[in-house]
């Protein structure tokens, strides 16, 4: 069992597990310490310099990298800490395209939250602004865009792609003021090894990586992705009878919230006007709508005309294990052949 330890943060006694960082211990106990590069799914890097705290009266240290220890006294706000945070946030905003009304992250932007918390001073911002030119937006990916002018270089996307997805499509490229997030060779996303899973997009704390189509759903429905046998858990966002969004279910052991490109973005076909919603039977060379009873009777009749090796079955990764078991049972026991295969094996 993990050892529990006691410490104080801003004079408030808290209990946490040994090994937890000071930042996580604070956040778990509803004590906000500003942060930008921290994400609970990723290893800490202490890059944004915003989560500084003072421990036992010592010098400022990054709370995301500092393990909580028994008996320590943590202070999250002081004049020195406030100055460091405000300067860091002002420099970020000075190089940021604050086009908030047109930004996909406008209602959930970590930079806006931070600027309100550290009381950014507009007259200082004016002096800092105007040093950089707008860089081109990468719209090459069909599902999301990358706007380097909104990027705060937190590297969450880079670490997500490496630590979670294992693709390593992204990196920090160039140096100093020229530093940007880019793909290998700074090619457009679509020409890189990016798999379009969108894991980086859902973790980007600002509007730099943003889905191209997003509508806030009226409600969400918990379900299972049917594209393949992994069976990832997801929540489909719905407006009326239209699906407008998908997000991974973090509680599902098969995917822990992750989705691939199909599960995250491949839901438009559901409401496509060309989608078949009733069985069709070909009569006199033309397809006609039929009931399920008519269709299944026809299939059974056709099956009865075959036995042994004139019959073959191809099962689908979209089916459950139980359904695939039944397909092979039907093929072997009822149709009398072992000619059964599965698309996941091909």
Contact residue for ligand SF4 among 25, 206, 210, 315 (CB under 6 A):
206
What phi, psi does 194 have (nearest 5°)?
Answer: -50, 135
Contact residue for ligand SF4 among 68, 225, 236, 335 (CB under 6 A):
225
Antiparallel, parallel or unpaired: β 313-315 and 340-342: parallel
> Mind spelling out the 3-state secondary structure of 86-100?
HHHHHHHHHCCCCCH
Q: Which residue is nearest to ligand SF4 (CB)?
A: 263
State in angstroms the smallest separation of the CB of 314 from ligand SF4. 19
What phi, psi does 237 have (nearest 5°)?
Answer: -85, 135
Q: Exposure of 188 by Cβ count < 10 A (0-12 exposed, 13-18 middle, 19+ buried)?
A: middle
236 touches ligand SF4 (CB under 6 A)? no
55 touches ligand SF4 (CB under 6 A)? no
89 touches ligand SF4 (CB under 6 A)? no
- Measured CA to CA, the distance from residue 131 to residue 90 in angstroms comes to 13
What phi, psi does 34 have (nearest 5°)?
Answer: -55, 145
State in angstroms the smallest separation of the CB of 257 from ligand SF4. 11
Q: Based on CB atoms, which residue is closest to ligand SF4, 74 or 153?
A: 153
Contact residue for ligand SF4 among 44, 46, 52, 198 (CB under 6 A):
198
Q: Give the range of 62-70, 155-163, 237-245, 338-346 binding ligand SF4 by CB under 6 A.
A: 155-163
Instruction: Classify 256 in phi/psi space as left (phi over 0), alpha (psi -120 to 50) or beta.
Output: left
196 touches ligand SF4 (CB under 6 A)? yes
Footprint of ligand SF4 (CB under 6 A): 151-157, 160-161, 165, 167, 169-170, 181, 194-200, 204, 206, 208-209, 225, 227-228, 230-232, 255, 259-260, 262-263
């Amino acid at each position: 069992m993990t050892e529990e330890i006691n410490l104080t943060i801003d004079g408030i006694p808290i209990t946490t597990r040994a090994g937890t960082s000071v930042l996580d211990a604070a956040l778990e106990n509803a004590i906000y310490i500003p942060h930008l590069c921290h994400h609970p799914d990723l290893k800490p890097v202490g890059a944004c310099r915003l989560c500084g705290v003072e421990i036992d009266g010592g010098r400022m240290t990054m709370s995301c990298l500092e393990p909580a220890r028994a008996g320590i006294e943590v202070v999250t706000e002081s004049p020195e800490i406030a100055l460091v945070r405000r300067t860091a946030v002002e420099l970020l905003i000075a190089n940021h395209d604050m086009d908030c009304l047109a930004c996909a992250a406008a209602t959930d932007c970590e930079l806006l939250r931070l600027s309100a918390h550290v009381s950014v001073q507009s007259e200082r911002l004016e002096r800092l602004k105007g040093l950089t030119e707008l860089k081109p937006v990468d719209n090459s990916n069909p599902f999301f865009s990358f706007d380097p002018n909104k990027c705060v270089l937190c590297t969450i996307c880079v670490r997500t792609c490496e630590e979670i997805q294992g693709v390593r499509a992204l990196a920090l490229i160039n140096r100093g003021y020229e530093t940007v997030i880019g793909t290998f060779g700074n090619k457009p996303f679509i020409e890189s090894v990016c798999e379009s899973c969108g894991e980086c997009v859902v973790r980007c704390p600002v509007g730099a990586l943003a889905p191209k189509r997003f509508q806030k759903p009226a409600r969400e429905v918990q379900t299972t992705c049917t594209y393949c046998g992994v069976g990832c858990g997801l929540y489909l966002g719905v407006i009326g009878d239209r699906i407008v969004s998908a997000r991974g279910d973090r509680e599902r052991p098969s995917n822990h919230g992750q989705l691939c490109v199909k599960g995250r973005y491949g839901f438009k076909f559901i409401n496509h006007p060309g989608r078949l919603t009733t069985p069709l039977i070909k009569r006199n060379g033309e397809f006609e709508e039929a009931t399920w009873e008519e269709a299944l009777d026809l299939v059974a009749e056709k099956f009865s005309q075959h036995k042994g090796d004139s019959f073959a079955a191809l099962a689908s990764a979209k089916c459950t294990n139980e359904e695939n078991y039944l397909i092979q049972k039907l093929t072997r026991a009822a149709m009398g052949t072992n000619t059964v295969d599965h698309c996941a094996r091909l």
